[in-house]
Chain A
Amino acid sequence: MGVPSALRSPKSASVGTARLIRRIVSNYLLRRLLKALFTVFFVTTLIFFLIRLMPSNPIEVYINELIVQYGFSYEDARNQAASLFAIDLDAPMAVQYLDFLRHLSRGDLGNSLRSPGTTVLSVIAKFLPWTLFSVGTGLLLSFTLGVSLGMLMAYKRESSLEPVLAGIGSFLSSVPNYIIGILLLVFLGVRWELVPIGQMRGSMTPGIKPSLTLEFISDIFFHAALPIATYVLTTVGGWMLTMKSSTISTLGEDYVTVARARGLPETRITTAYVGRNAALPLFTQLAISIGFIVGGSILIEQIFVYQGIGYQLLVAISNRDYPVMQGIFLIITASVIASNFLADFLYSRLDPRVRIVGRE
């Protein structure tokens, strides 16, 4: 303290750095955050080199297309491609990579190839919220429902209700999500005509203004109802079965017996002793589940013509719109990683043990 920094010996500086590193390592959340950031970086790098090292380099494909279809000269085509992809094609790969990272850090993901003048960022800003909304709601609902049903199954494992629920759970968790989506559409929409699927297409009724009115909110839920139902149906089985087995093993723990012996009220035992501990393994499953459900949104949004990011990704892939593809893939990955981080955060709140180093 008070010593001018110039007078500090190099040794104390390195001690300071070492302490900083130790503090980062010992802080659970900071460690997870660093890992999340590194993962985003890793995926970004992966997709960058993937696009450039593929046997059919999309940039070359695009240049060829310009030459063949629009009669561009090679030079012009190359310049056009370079400006659209926002990279200098003559530069060495390492420079291109650094350039790409610099643009990316400013949020510049390039422009759409197929609809000129549209930035990739604007495409994402327009469609991502709908996917986050529908997937988020679906996940929240299925998690709550699955945890409650799983606990119910564990408590009532002697009753005749349990095998029925277990059967439904295992059926739902093994049937592919797009099949459940098609079944909902075919039976609810076409066979029994229970829901007006034609009107439910899109993410909201055209012409309605986004606002916090009841009309708007019920409209977006109306349009998202079938995708949300599909997400809930396809994931709830997994939660139920995991929660059931986890609750059963928790019920056998000594601390539950002790809590019973102490005469604690049953509701308190169920929530604070059994529920809290039994839900822990579900959080590790959450990480994989989020990635799966977000990935599944490509299929589900296509089936229900829901205008989310998954639907746009498919449009971009079939149009060979590489910058949009790359941008959407990055944003999907980033949101999965972000929600994993959130799940980790919740986990560390629920289970203080993980915040202590070395007890993972």
Chain B
Amino acid sequence: MAQQSVSLYQRTGIEWLRDFLRGIGSFLKLIASNRVGLLGFIMVIFFIVLSTVGPRFVPLDTKTKVTQIYVPPSREHPLGTDHQGRDIWSQIVHGGKDILYVAFLTGLISTFIGVVLGSLSAIIGGGFDSLMTTLADIWLTIPQFPLLAVLAGFIRLDSLSLLALILAVLSWAGLFRAVRAQVFSLKERDYVEAARALDLGLRHIVFSEILPNMMSYIAISFTFAMTSAIYAQTSLVFLGLVPISTSNWGVMISLAWTRGAIFSKDSIYYIMSPIMAIALLQLALVWMGRSLEAVFNPRLRAGG
């Protein structure tokens, strides 16, 4: 009997993998059902491929060529050249990796924190819940960017992973609130009640009953966490608060800015290329996220 109940309620590795793949499948289907969302999804994929595979094919141009300063786009230089005559396209190809890395890591950590704290708060309830909600409310009123800027004044944010960790910790409150609300509505459902009546334990209830039903919702939060991480890190670089070590899009804007390139008419491609890259990546992520939101929230769907 005991043997049987275990096989009933504990999934094997293969079953787990199958459920996982099925989750991804339904995720893709939901995205494809919305044209804007699909476009966003394709653009995101494009940026990921560009930044991970691209550098293998396009070598980074680091040579200063005095004769080729601010050359307009041509076959040789698709986006023209910068203030030192270096190819801008190669810088764009190489400049996305760091940004995407920080964005993904921030998304992962902050989603993890949000999901863990949010579900714990909703499940435990009582004093812990009201303490956490009050704390989250307070945290949300602290302006994040000034806090981040002040922090950058104290800590040398030269490690990408550290930057991602800080960004994630700072953004816990919004996700916490959203996840908590979700879990609150999910835990009243019959199948959770049933699992509780069977005394299957907190871990089982969270990981096998509640989390799988929130997967798509978590995916939305993930994309939004990514957009705010991209915003925060590129702005910090732009303000010169993060030491410039490698070349990324934020560094490119910052360099174009400090070299006064913004005020020279010839340099339009130099300043516009990283700006368009960041803006398009942000737009793609938001489109993807918002279309997911529309799919899950019928109230929004009604509006088209």
* A residues with CB within 8 A of B: 35, 38-39, 42-43, 47, 50-51, 54-56, 58, 154, 157, 162-163, 166, 170-171, 173-176, 178-179, 182-183, 185-186, 190-191, 244-245, 248-249, 252, 287-288, 291-292, 294-296, 298-299, 302, 310, 313-314, 317-318, 320, 325-326, 328-329, 332-333, 336-337, 340
Contact of A178 among B137, B235, B272 (CB under 8 A): B235
Is there a chain A Cβ closer than 8 Å to B141's Cβ? yes
Per-residue CB contact flags for chain B residues 199-230 toward chain A (1 = under 8 Å, else 0) read: 00000000000000000000000000001001
Residues A54 and B155 in contact in the complex (CB < 8 Å), given A182-B253, A299-B239:
yes
Instruction: Select from chain A the residue with minimum beta-carbon distance to B304.
Output: A157
Residues A174 and B154 in contact in the complex (CB < 8 Å), given A248-B303, A291-B141, A333-B143:
no
Q: How far is the CA of A15 from the CA of B276 in the complex (A)?
A: 65
Q: Are A295 and B144 in contact (CB under 8 A)?
A: yes
CB distance from A120 to the nearest CB of B (A): 14
Count of chain A to chain B residue pairs whose CB atoms are closer than 8 Å in the complex: 139
Is there a chain A Cβ closer than 8 Å to B295's Cβ? no
Q: Are A295 and B268 in contact (CB under 8 A)?
A: no
**CB-contacts of B216-259 with A (<8 A):** 227, 230-231, 234-235, 238-241, 253, 257
Q: Are A39 and B138 in contact (CB under 8 A)?
A: yes
Q: How far is the CA of A166 from the CA of B151 in the complex (A)?
A: 37
List chain A residues, Cβ under 8 A from B134. Answer: 35
Is there a chain A Cβ closer than 8 Å to B286's Cβ? yes
Q: Are A176 and B234 in contact (CB under 8 A)?
A: yes
Q: Are A302 and B227 in contact (CB under 8 A)?
A: no
List chain A residues, Cβ under 8 A from B151. Answer: 50
Contact of A56 among B154, B230, B257 (CB under 8 A): B154
List the 8 shortest-distance A-B pairs measured between CB atoms, nearest first: A295-B145, A174-B286, A295-B143, A317-B153, A291-B143, A54-B154, A248-B303, A175-B279
Chain B: how many interface residues by the 8 Å CB criterion? Answer: 51
Q: How far is the CA of A85 from the CA of B253 in the complex (A)?
A: 36
Q: Are A299 and B240 in contact (CB under 8 A)?
A: no
CB distance from B232 to the nearest CB of A (A): 10
Contact of B239 among A175, A182, A302, A336 (CB under 8 A): A302
List chain A residues, Cβ under 8 A from B272. Answer: 186
CB distance from A289 to the nearest CB of B (A): 11
Q: How far is the CA of A320 from the CA of B154 in the complex (A)?
A: 9
Is there a chain A Cβ closer than 8 Å to B150's Cβ? yes
Q: Are B286 and A170 in contact (CB under 8 A)?
A: yes
Q: Are A292 and B143 in contact (CB under 8 A)?
A: yes
